[in-house]
Structure 1
Amino acid sequence: MAKKTKVVEVVPYDPAWKSEFGRLREWLLEITGDLILAVEHVGSTSVEGLSAKPIIDIDLVMESYEVFPVIVERLSQYGYVHQGNLGVEGREAFNREQEDGFMKYHLYVCPKDGKGHQEHIILREYLRVNPSAAREYEQVKLDLAEQFRYDIDAYCEGKTAVVHSILQRAGYAGATQEHHT
């Protein structure tokens, strides 16, 4: 099978992202609601007015890793495959190959105090209340999408410095130079 080429596309904010997250949230609560604390809309699509790749990022927030094996089993019953942490501490990625009627999304399972989840929430909240930081981040993403149209890894790596800078400005002491999606 030939490897798919991922085209990096950053598009203007779409209000439909919020309602699509709502549909996904309900679906994921049906599957895991008794095992998790929250379903969080994170990433650029969660920041009103911010251009983004049209992919919804979702954190399923668990109390601790004690319940994680049960979550993996439950999600697997619905076609989700655990992909590991993909290089980001405190964030377990899941993939679903079959068409499920939703727009494209990334699903992560995170402990409530995990680094990956904390960074997602801090970044989202900071961008929501700091329009200049949101515009700065947006411009970096637009520039990177143009420069690395066919290289998602370079695009993501290119965002690392600005994400790190924004997390520091938000007062997050744990900001590192990790790969951000």
Structure 2
Amino acid sequence: MVLVASDPAWPTAFAAARDEFLTILPDPLLIEHIGSTAVPGLSAKPVIDIIVLVDDMARAHAALPQLAGLGYQYRPDVSNPARLFLRRIGADGIRTHHLHIHTDQDDVRRHILFRDELRADAATREAYQALKQGLARRHGDDREAYAKGKDAFIDAVVRAAGGPERRPFWNS
């Protein structure tokens, strides 16, 4: 796991990906830049996370071939009925984007609320930064352990901000 310094080009990369996505599914209910690359000043894995809220998952499934044409790979192993997960791999074989397509408004709200709390509160952002750096050192080759190590912190921040509780994906 390699974290890099915040890059001011990340919002532009999100906007370009968003515009591409909108040519395929032109009427999502919401499309947002989430994750650490959406928080100025926060180090991150250099992967642009995009979350999309749709009201019809069947239309999103139907768009998978077109998304594949843009370089997105559908990951059914980490998707569920309320969420499709896709990743985009660059020419160098490195992940560049994650696309999260949801029908679960609460899950989308959790992601946006957490991002907004990090943007607004320097102490929370610094604590998250320290947690991520420690997890990257301990779990550099274990993406799942790195992600799970952040769960309690994220849940606490979202809970303190009045957000919805995390639900296991199999109950979505």
TM range (shorter): 0.7 to 0.9
Q: Deviations over 1:18-51 (max 9, x none)?
A: 1111111111112222x42332100011011111
Gaps of 5+ in 2: none
Q: State the 1:95 CA deviation.
A: 3.0
1:70 aligns with 2:58: no
1:24 aligns with 2:43: no
Q: State the 1:15 CA deviation.
A: 0.6
* TM-score where L is the length of structure 2: 0.83
Relative to its length, the structure with more helix (as a share) is: 2
Gaps of 5+ in 1: 1-7
1:11 aligns with 2:28: no
CA RMSD of aligned residues (A): 2.7
Q: State the 1:66 CA deviation.
A: 4.7
Counterpart among 33, 38, 46 of residue 46 in structure 1: 38
1:161–1:177 contact (8 Å) kept in structure 2: no
Aligned partner letter, 2:127? E
* TM-score where L is the length of structure 1: 0.79
User: Residues 39 and 46 from structure 1, CA distance in 2 versus in 1: closer, same or farther, beyond 3 angstroms?
Assistant: same
* Aligned-partner Cα distance in 2 for 1:146–1:121: 27
| Deviation beyond 6 Å, 4+ runs, structure 1 | none
User: Residues 166 and 125 from structure 1, CA distance in 2 versus in 1: closer, same or farther, beyond 3 angstroms?
Assistant: same
Counterpart among 105, 108, 111 of residue 120 in structure 1: 111
* Aligned-partner Cα distance in 1 for 2:65–2:28: 14
The percent of aligned pairs where both chains have the same amino acid is: 30
1:85–1:91 contact (8 Å) kept in structure 2: no
Q: State the 1:176 CA deviation.
A: 5.2
1:91–1:114 contact (8 Å) kept in structure 2: no
1:138 aligns with 2:129: yes
Q: State the 1:147 CA deviation.
A: 1.2
1:163 aligns with 2:163: no
2:87–2:95 contact (8 Å) kept in structure 1: no
User: Residues 9 and 81 from structure 1, CA distance in 2 versus in 1: closer, same or farther, beyond 3 angstroms?
Assistant: closer
User: Residues 134 and 57 from structure 1, CA distance in 2 versus in 1: closer, same or farther, beyond 3 angstroms?
Assistant: same
Q: State the 1:124 CA deviation.
A: 0.7
Aligned length: 168
Counterpart among 49, 56, 59 of residue 51 in structure 2: 59
